[in-house]
Amino acid sequence: MEINIDGCKIVLLDFFQKNKSNLLKSLKSDEVQTFLEPLSDMTIIFSDIQKTTELKKYLKNLEIPEENLKDILQFFDRPFQSSFSWGFQDKEFVFIRLEETTKLFLKKNRKGLTGLIIHEVLHGVQRQRGLEIRLHDSLDFSLDFFTQLAEVIPPEKYNRTQIISFLKQISQLALFALKDIFVNVELIKRGMAEWLIIFYRDELGFGENLEIKPPQYETEFEKGVIKVKDLDSFATAFTYTLSLIPIWLPFMVLETDSKDYEPSRELKHLIFDKYYVNPSFITREMWHIENIFLASFSFSKSFHRKWYGAIFNLALEHLLGEDFLFYHLFKATELLEELYTTQESEERKSMAMVPILKAAYVYRREQLVGIQKRNIEELNSKMQQYEIGEEEITELEESIDEPSEHATSPEHMFENLMKLSIMIVTRDLRVNVFSGENFKFKIFSRTILSLLQAINYLEDECDDQYYHTVRLGVKRLLRTDNLFKRKRWALLLENFAQNTIFHGETEPSQLEIDELIYNYDFFEIPLTNFFIDLGVSFIQNIKTVMKTVSVNDDEFPFLTAQLINIQIGGIKLPIEDEEHLNLMYVSSLIATKGIPYRMIQIMLTAFLQTRVPKEETD
């Protein structure tokens, strides 16, 4: 059955003929018509995914050159391929292939059917804009580069012919996934996220209490050991995981206050819980792909090449047995070395670097396999460079073996150490934004993203809200050229980074409050409610740092001063009140139980050194 709608040919095969009225409602909707208008020659074919004979017969009757017809027919034999779009010259074809039992015809899911149609039609629109030619050019460039890079794999494990075949196999899915990402991002930015979410939930079987049965792969793999014997099998497992990325990744462009944000997060978690269970060895490292998307997404060739590079790099590193958590940690340390180059920055670099190295040590201690010898050697070298001695290592070991109530597992300890480093870097990013040193701005952002990726490697162990809030903060900073917005987001990012690191009650006792008021009287500080509340909050901040960092730790004075300076940086004080701050800080230190008197002068000095000039917070 053929129908014409404003110049677009609609072909209904199999069971679609009796669902004509439902389809016409979607096809004649304003959303679909908006995308059909720019296309001069579009054919949309609806057919049963279980039956291809009638569809192939219909295609052979069309005036399509033989070589182009072969291109279409090969899609029917691809794994994970259902509906798809294809075009040549100015002709565009959309193939909507569904099962007869699809729930998309239900009234409540009609937006989902419309979302599927729009998704495939938009492929044609983007192809006519010239996107596909650019994607193929970038793919050819990347494939050639990584074919050469693949020579590092021991030839006794895989010969060159095998590797080239393997890379070509995954390159096609990398191309299709990128095309889907571009389409979905455009739809989401046009306000059609809900249409996509409804479609994907139905396609993946969510919401109907169905038992999800993802395909199983018997691909041998162990980190640190090359054991993948069948590259074709590995490529199939790898591309299966890759094929699901365009469903969840584009929704990362949504703001947290969007009405579609929570449903999109639920969709992502369902995919990871139900579909990304096998092969799990691939799934964990897909966070690196998310990092590339968040830091670099655009329609440019630069992003195309980064995308293909990330996919090929991920595949090759699986074959080499690389550990990706160490990859992110060492990437972050490289960026820190680049950030802190002046002599006065050495101290800041050490403060940010030491928690990363300690976190790496914690991870290495718990991870029995998969960490390369060169990674361990580099970690040991850097720990010596930053003077992490035997005493601190012993303390780490004891903390792992006998975790406290505030660090209930090595994963929790790892996460807190990483957050501590992020807090330090975000504070310096804020100073960087206020001082206008834009040439370092992207390096700061990339460092934070690398640290976040290391946290996210922990999957369910990590604080999901923390990860996404900091990630969105970085994303907003990167995409705005407005100085006021940059300052505002930098402040919010820093506040969130420091507020979510520490856990546990830090309320001052009545004895500490009484001591604070006595000290105020001694130093002749006005006993106003505002000053007393501020002094109490100083005690809270001091005790917060004490929950995580030992008072005897060299970092303790600076972290405490930094935390309090973040707080008072957002408060506008009259000049006469500013003069009392130093003595208020001293009063709070004296009042806080557990601070030895010998530390008072050291901590006051750190407080004065880390004070941000007043104009930076305006």
User: What is residue 154's predicted lDDT score, i.e. its pLDDT?
Assistant: 67
pLDDT digits (tens, 9 = 90+) for 46-69: 888 777 777 777 777 777 777 777
Rounded distance, CA 157 to CA 226, Å? 8
d(CA 196, CA 386): 49
Percentage of the chain modeled with pLDDT above 90: 9
- Select the more confidently predicted residue: 323 or 309: 309
Q: Which residue has the tokens 């960026």?
A: 335
Which of 480, 499, 518 terminates a domain? The answer is 499
Q: Say whether pLDDT at 406 is over 50.
A: no
The more confident residue out of 272 and 325 is 272
pLDDT above 60: residue 29: yes
Evaluate if residue 408 carries a pLDDT over 60. Answer: no
- Write out pLDDT tens, residues 359-396: 888 888 876 555 667 778 888 999 999 988 888 888 78
Residues 139 and 269 in one domain: yes
**Average predicted confidence (pLDDT) for the chain:** 79
What is the distance between the alpha carbons of residues 540 and 588, in angstroms, rounded to a whole number?
A: 9
Query: What would the pLDDT profile of 91-104 be if each residue is shown by its tens digit?
Result: 888 888 887 777 77
Higher-confidence residue of 28 and 585: namely 585
Q: Which residues of 501-529 are buried (b: 16+ CB within 10 A; e: fewer)?
A: bbeeebebeeebbebbbebbeeeebeeee
Judge whether residue 407 has pLDDT over 60: no
Report whether 150 contacts 159 (CB < 8 A): no
Strand partners, 92: 42, 87
Measured distance between the N- and C-terminal CA atoms of the chain, rounded to whole angstroms: 68
Distances (CA, A) of 224 to 217, 230, 318, 325, 523: 20, 17, 9, 13, 62
**How many degrees, rounded to 5, is the angle at CA 126 between CA 120 and CA 130?**
140
Q: What pLDDT, on the 0 to 100 scale, is given for residue 3?
A: 76
Please report whether residue 115 resides in a domain: no
* Together in a domain, 335 and 387: yes
pLDDT at 534 over 60: yes
pLDDT of amino acid 587: 92
pLDDT digits (tens, 9 = 90+) for 580-617: 888 899 999 999 988 988 888 899 988 888 775 444 33
List, for residues 134-176, the tens digit of each pLDDT value: 888 888 877 776 777 666 666 777 777 888 888 888 888 888 8
Position 193 scores a pLDDT of: 93
- Work out the percent of the chain whose per-residue pLDDT is above 70: 84
| Domain tally, the chain | 4
Give Cα 16 to chain centroid, integer Å: 40
Distance CA 190, CA 31 (A): 10
Q: Residue 416 above 50 pLDDT?
A: yes
Specify whether the CB–CB gap between 592 and 508 falls below 8 A: yes
Question: Is 594:546 a contact under the CB 8 Å cutoff?
Answer: yes
Q: Measured between alpha carbons, how far is 163 from 166 in angstroms, rounded to an integer?
A: 5
What's the pLDDT at 182?
A: 93
Together in a domain, 408 and 268: no
* 77 pLDDT higher than 70: no
Residue 335 and residue 316 share a domain? no
- In this predicted structure, the answer to whether residue 314 has a pLDDT above a threshold of 80 is no
Residue 463: per-residue pLDDT: 67
Residue 222 inside a domain? The answer is yes
Is 170 inside any structural domain?
A: yes
User: Is the same domain home to 329 and 299?
Assistant: no
- The answer to whether residue 246 scores a pLDDT higher than 90 is yes
Closest Cα partner for 610 from 557, 574, 538, 573?
557
pLDDT score recorded for residue 131: 84
Residues 6 or more apart in contact with residue 579 via CB below 8 angstroms: none
* CB-based contact 36:84 (threshold 8 Å): no
Domain assignment of residue 64, yes or no: yes
Tell whether 348 and 476 lie within a shared domain: yes
Residue 106 lies in a domain: no
Q: What is the mean pLDDT of residues 418-439?
A: 84
> CA of 437: how far to CAs of 339, 434, 487, in Å?
11, 8, 13
Query: β-pairing, 42-48 with 84-88?
Result: unpaired
| Mean pLDDT calculated for residue range 558-571 | 76
Of 51, 79, 101, at which residue does a domain stop? Answer: 101
Question: Of the residues 499, 523, 547, which one is the last residue of a structural domain?
Answer: 499
Position with higher pLDDT, 290 vs 282: 290
Please choose, from the candidates 121, 228, 235, the residue with its C-alpha nearest in 3D space to the C-alpha of residue 170.
235
Q: For the whole model, what pTM was predicted?
A: 0.61
| Statement to judge: residues 169 and 283 lie in one domain | yes
pLDDT band for 288, please (50, 70, 90 cuts): low
Does 122 map to a domain? no
Only one residue has tokens 């005790």, namely: 543
Highest mean pLDDT pick, 115-124, 142-151, 445-454: 115-124
**pLDDT digit string, tens, across residues 30-48:** 888 887 876 778 888 888 8
Give DSSP secondary structure letters for 399-427. Answer: HHHS--TT--SHHHHHHHHHHHHHHHHHH
Q: What pLDDT does 370 receive? A: 53
Digit-coded pLDDT (tens) for 488-528: 888 878 877 877 765 555 778 878 888 888 888 878 888 88
Q: Where are the alpha helices (DSSP H) in 244-370?
A: 245-248, 261-270, 280-283, 287-296, 301-320, 324-339, 346-366
Residue 453, CB half-sphere, CA atoms under 13 Å: how many? 28
More confident: 191 or 434:
191
Domain assignment present for residue 120? The answer is no
Residue 118 lies in a domain: no
Statement to judge: residues 298 and 431 lie in one domain: no
Please check whether residues 163 and 26 belong to one and the same domain: no
438 in the same domain as 539: no
User: Which domain does 216 fall in, by range?
Assistant: 131-320
Residues 182 and 211 in one domain: yes
User: 293 and 160, same structural domain?
Assistant: yes
Query: Cα(284)–Cα(120) distance, rounded to whole angstroms?
Result: 29
Instruction: Report in angstroms the alpha-carbon separations of 247 from 139, 165, 252, 514.
Output: 21, 27, 11, 58
- The single-letter DSSP state of residue 218 is -
Q: Which amino acid, 21?
A: S
pLDDT of residue 618: 33
pLDDT value of residue 181? 94
Q: How confident is the model at residue 2 (pLDDT cuts 50, 70, 90)?
A: confident
